[in-house]
Amino acid sequence: MVAKERNYDVGKDEAMLAEKVIMASYLQKLESAKKEGKKVCYTFVPGSLIELLHCFDIVPVWPEVLGLQMGLRKISDDYIEVAENAGYSDDICSYVKSSVGMFLKGNIGPYGNKIPEPDFLFLVNSQCFTFMKWWEILRKTFNCPIVTINLPYRHHGITTKDEIKYGVKQIEKVVIPQLEEMTGIKFDMDRLKGELALSREMEEDVASIFQAGKNIPCPVDGLFQALYYIGPINTYFRGTQEGVDFYKLVRKVVEKRVAAGEGPMTPFGKMKEQKYRLAVDCGITWDHFKEYSKIFYDEGAITVASTYTKVGGLYHSTEFSHDPDEPFESMIRQNMTNYANHTIEDRIKIMEHYINDYHCDGYMIGSIKSCKSFSAGLLTMMNELEKRTGISGAFFEMDMMDSRYFSEANVRTRIDSYLRMIDAKRKGA
């Protein structure tokens, strides 16, 4: 299966083009991994312990990233159909089905190249309850072991010392011995601390980039553009000098726009007029990424903050950043505070923070049809946010990459109606 040729560089700024280059260098690392005798593991964006994997020269693969790339190239429906024909329900996460379809089609990835099969699977079991079943499928498919860390859900909105100790003990007593045995490489604490220091430097820059959304006009789109910016830190490049250099560039580009009073670059040109400032709690429809973003552009609506860009970490602040002085503790803490591992009350507080501190005119809640973890409790969130902020939100439905559940006309109508409501309230005021 060959991806359709499209121009993906239209409307990208200097940092977004640099992201394309750095991610291409990861694909080269992945392609040469087996030849160089390195182990390949499959893992997830939420719950990634990439710095630890680096210490063992392991090259990871992220199946959900491959899935979103299928969506961007409009080939995800083909993979989903293969999985459903094999008996997987249409209610199952479309990331999972695109992943299964890829395996059933010979493990051919979204770029038309064969993805290396895993030597093992690495699962940090928190955030999404689908992950464990997904990994059971992969274990049966590739007949390989699973290395697992089990972390608790943040039931009370806090991470306790005992929970941190529970996670740290698993790293020390289970994970590191297994990785040493599989790779033949002895764990090096100094190397890990060095990587975590680089991770923290990256996280400080990323926090600054996201916080720039508070500016008027907003210099960075907190959803559509930020998804490009967030890629390297959520995948291979956290804890690397390449990652540090990339985020220095992104920060420079964003700060330049702040100084010039400019909006972000989009596929449709610079966003000059920003009529509406919105916070968004929803995923993205990857297979209609351009059409979806154009709805906002046409209306002059800028997403100043979003929650979907926080699935790999709450990078709008450095509160949960990695710390080389507490290597294992900070890794566990950071993983337990990814967005999907928060309670509904915590998620409400995060959105309330965005609405108030990012000077929002409104907020949008998007239900993802096949993502139960992200979509649970959304109407409760809407009702509570309206009580706390005095602002009503908009609600619409779609899916990450299954085109059967996205209607551009329907989503455009929902968004248009909501923005007209904001207009009416402004007129009344």
Contacts of 76-81 with C-beta under 8 Å, sequence gap 24+, read: 76/286, 76/287, 76/401, 76/402, 76/403, 77/287, 77/401, 77/402, 77/403, 77/404, 78/1, 79/1, 79/105, 80/401, 80/402
Average pLDDT over residues 83-98: 91
Sequence ranges of the domains in the chain: 14-189, 192-428
H/E element, 389:
helix 378-389
- Please say if the pLDDT value at position 155 is more than 90: no
Q: Residue 311: count other Cβ atoms within 10 Å of its Cβ.
A: 23
| Model confidence pLDDT, tens digit, residues 301-333 | 999 999 989 888 888 777 788 999 999 999 999
C-beta separation of 183 from 54 below 8 A: no
Give the pLDDT confidence of 189-237 residue by residue, as tens digits: 999 999 999 999 999 999 999 999 999 999 999 999 999 899 999 999 9
| Strand partners of residue 397 | 367
pLDDT at 8: 45
**Token digits of residue 152:** 């608790």
Q: Tell me the per-residue pLDDT of 208-220, one tens digit each, with 9 for 90 and over.
A: 999 999 999 999 9
Closest CA to 297 of 223, 368, 362, 351: 223
Which one, of 228, 226, 206, lies nearest residue 218 by Cα? 226
Tell me the pLDDT band of 1, cut-offs 50, 70 and 90.
very low
Contact between 245 and 18 under an 8 Å Cβ cutoff? The reply is: no
User: SS3 of 365, please?
Assistant: strand
The side-by-side arrangement of strands in the sheet containing 120-125 is 59-61, 40-42, 120-125, 146-150
pLDDT of 340 reads 80
Q: Do 14-189 and 192-428 fold alike per CATH?
A: yes
pLDDT band at 10 (very low <50, low <70, confident <90, very high): low
Region 152-161 average pLDDT: 83
Strand order from edge to edge, sheet including 301-306 = 301-306, 276-281, 362-368, 394-398
In the predicted model, what is the mean pLDDT of the chain? Answer: 90
**Beta-ladder partners of 364:** 280, 394
Q: Give percent of the chain above pLDDT 70.
A: 97
Residue 9, pLDDT > 70, answer no
2 against 331, higher pLDDT: 331
| Percent of residues, the chain, with pLDDT higher than 90 | 67
Of 109, 129, 6, 11, nearest in space to 61 by CA: 109
Residues 256-279 pLDDT 10s? 999 999 999 888 988 889 999 999
* 14-189 is a CATH 3.40.50.11890 domain: yes
Q: Answer whether residue 77 shows pLDDT above 50.
A: yes
- 355 pLDDT above the threshold of 80: yes
Torsion over CA of 76, 79, 85 and 88, rounded to 10 degrees? -80
Give yes or no for a contact between 85 and 104, defined as CB atoms under 8 angstroms apart: no
Q: If pLDDT is split at 50, 70 and 90, which confidence band does 4 have?
A: very low
Mean pLDDT of 135-149: 91
Q: Do residues 43 and 119 make contact, with C-beta atoms less than 8 angstroms apart?
A: no
Query: What average pLDDT does the segment 282-291 reach?
Result: 87
pTM: 0.93
Question: Does domain 192-428 match CATH 3.40.50.11900?
Answer: yes
Long-range contacts of 20-26 (CB under 8 A, 24+ apart): 22/232, 22/237, 22/242, 22/243, 22/246, 23/231, 23/232, 23/235, 25/242, 26/235, 26/236, 26/237
Length of the chain: 429
SS (H, E, C) 82-132: HHHHCCCCCCCCHHHHHHHHHHHCCCECCCCCECCCCCEEEEEECCCCHHH
Query: Quick one: how many helices (H) and strands (E) in the chain?
Result: 18, 10
What DSSP string describes 302-325?
Answer: EEEEESGGGTT--TTSSTT---TT
